[in-house]
Structure 1
């Protein structure tokens, strides 16, 4: 999994990150030194501005004004003014256009959201199926989370942390496979299957009981799943495992009760559906921590939500369950709301379905009402995680209702879901989601009518060009074949470009242009060239640092693979060179080549010090930063100076851009250690895991030190 960190070799105790030498500079002195650098920087910038102001004024029209500031969103305004934020501010999902799906009027008040990276959910489902085939046996007529339009987990838990999405879907697919066994065996064999799974969870939850796991293939899958969950977040994984154990223990011995009334059946169905299991899935997927006391308080609120999920599941799975019931000679009754309504009210199938629909609507509306009332009364008295869980249940209801209409699990007579393929038509390592990558950048509302699947692959024929009659006759001799598209090679770069960004370099270019006054067309060329180089460096840097996250999302190589990502990053260099050529200036090309060489030299030293556990001097560290981080800023200033009509009237800005690069890198290193936002996006003190060096935890000596026993922390590419 992308979220599993690489451990530092040797002992994993706290002493690993304590410097072996006495700290030569306190944190206060270090920050004061940084402040001195910034003061010098701004004094220099101010004097330069004043000295050129009179000359620049002639070039700037009197009526010129700065562009108005960007409007603040309602969410940002609430944060500034101290207004309460919504329980869930969507971060990992897109809102689906309601005109593109039909919820049958069952949950019209609830929005439908789909995960931006649904292809990771598809990957988890397909991996579970492959493991089952390899370890347990053939899969016949099975469909789990996958569907031609949405992945079940991608819409039921759309705010799942991306690095957990694959394993959460794997777990749910495993549960589906286990559930299908129970639907096709008798009570005694079903109890055995549940007891075997409960023993697997018990061996982890209660190790002192000496519970032994079975050696069956299913138990091997279960053990592998448990290890992956624990490696990501052990406390939250233990909650999920405890909830799952409760589900299978509750199911054992209770598969075929002869219910006569819906109000008798529904509490049983809610437990059988997996109320506690789904609580564990949501809290683990979203990284929520909810105390048992709080969870108990919320039960009265969530009962209608789970009743809605149970009734909707029975409604959509009726045909599947009825066929299985008729084919199972040991079954004499059905545990399905439609069946019980028919018996209780003496009505036919169609009337029973209408009654069930009404019950679904009523319970959904009741949950929304109870949730809103609870939020009004309890806000500030309960944890934010509990409120997030209650909001997540709304997404689960709408996601389940819409997904159930498309999944072949409940819809028969439709083409089978396509088997696993290794890559999609854009080069992702697993099935790619057309709604996840392509639509995640430009809009927060997805028109799913234009996207055929949630993540299942379009065939290779969608990528290959239609061949002409001539090429069909003799393609080997035809030298006029169409050009290959660049869709595959650009997909990794488009992915990293789609990730959230503050556009610092664009702002810096716009600020410098107050002095340089570069024409707009050439300014856009410079911005594009810098963007290409920056995105390339992000992809390569994450590979070289073995970093699983970038800006809170899976790194590019995690999604597309290392080889494809390297190839795409190299292609961006070519595109950046091509873009620089458009400036029609040999001097610009020379600047581009010189600074690109410096960027790579700086990165080489960073990698060398880390690999050889060699601590640089402060001067060496700063020089590396000047090359690696300051290089792009230097390139920007030099390219703008060459294309500026103010030639000779703007002073050399090299010192300013050098200091700005140092500020940018040192701030980034410090944020890595102290910023909660940085921790959420890259992981806590991630650079420490990478064995790098930098000033904050261990100010570097002014003399060259050849070797340190313990690696500390270093500069990694800022966003």
Structure 2
């Protein structure tokens, strides 16, 4: 059997050719054949599942996505070679992308309704009305499902998704198109074609080398132009209607550009766009066949992918010509068939609240700079130096001191330097992700959530500066630690200032007294936990495993617990007050710390960020060391060598690489690293079990938490 027949058999396994008499291509796609996936029922289920999840997590849906009861679901006709067990997931991701695209369109409508809104505010308001937490839930479900199925291909899908989201309406407006080439280059980015191609690759399990990507690039460009022009042709009436009804700005569409450039009516412009589309469709076939005749074109993988790109053109066209998304006369209730028996959150923030939330988020990028007591950025203060504001809750608010010169105001430049420097280092964002995950169950307002996130972020960065001083760590996240740059006194001062700043943020929370109580209690736990760590290290005293885990619960888990308690204080739901989070947070905190302990001794990535086995330099009793020294009665010699190495490291604040390798050799003899791995597996199972229990109790699956756990397990 030759390769062409083998490929055809493979294509026929997942799809079948649709008789051209069953659809009207309106003169497009000459010489192309339409294929439809044999597992279309799975595609329908995936799209339904996405809409059901959107309804449960966000709210009713106004628009259509994949669905086309006339000529096939989008995934079925555009991705006909998808591996059967990936069809449902591809359809779910595609449905979410379609609905999400409508969110961006709604943001544009916000701008038209209120020209004083910035584009970012309009987007945030629209997303907040829909539920930011809900959107993160669905995205987390998609990411986790993609990564578990095929990590490499899944990463490509998510990268292309991010690129598509970043191609904003603002970029469109900034480009006054003067040629069709210029427009089509932009449209290639804006249309989401790259995201669909990434889904095709995921569906087929295909990845390519850089050299293969270079070979495919010209073919991809021609293919994308044919797709984009066909979409513009089909969707023009919809876009024009929205523009004429003042619910959208000027169409970004090839037909509209032809009307403007050539001063012709819509019908004439559409014919010109159709002619150009046919030209690119023919060009793609010609370029594809020319490539397939080369030596590089004999690759079975490239042949499969080029055939998938070929099927994309008729599939997209036929779907677009009859789908409810583009044709009002074919529409029905977009929520029909989906489950509606779920609890909608009745508390919706006002537009003004959401604008304030946007300001809070914008200020987070400058969170290293200390904020005035009233919470306003210095840049936002009135220009007049005669204006003075006193805090309402200030005991001296009746004796306002006028500041006639900014020169009299002490500058925060020096105290903020170490804070800004530490914040500039890349972060894993674990605590922010945990806050988003907890909010699936606690449901606090986005404004309060952002304020609490800021508190935790400030405290975490303060703790990093203090830890590096106390441990004499030269590196933090691959860069010199703050105290090695600014000096120990200045960094200590900055860290203490940051803690004060965090307390000021707590005072701005609605439940001020209760929040302060949580803050002081958990800060006390943090300091006590750290004291044990410092005591053991200074006195060269190895704790028991139980003592070590209790210290971790206070120290590492302390911020996790503070986060959860602050959120519960501000939850209006009585049910949220009883959600049993303690065991989950304890398991998560211990897992997080022991994982870092293990990676410090075994992972090359951490060597680049903090140095090779830095815990040994510090004489620190990390979890593997504790196990080795406390549970290795059969390895007295190894224990004695380990103790001597730790003592030496503590005294010198540095160990040679040879000494560290010797320490690792002794750890190997005690099997403590294997025991550490087993403990991590046990803690992970405990966390998953607690997560499942809470999901069952609350009736709410938490995909954000599941994704967070999965990422920590890598």
With normalisation by structure 1, the TM-score equals 0.43
TM-score normalised per structure 2: 0.43
Q: Which has the higher relative contact order, 1 or 2, with Cα contacts under 8 A spaced 6 or more apart?
A: 1
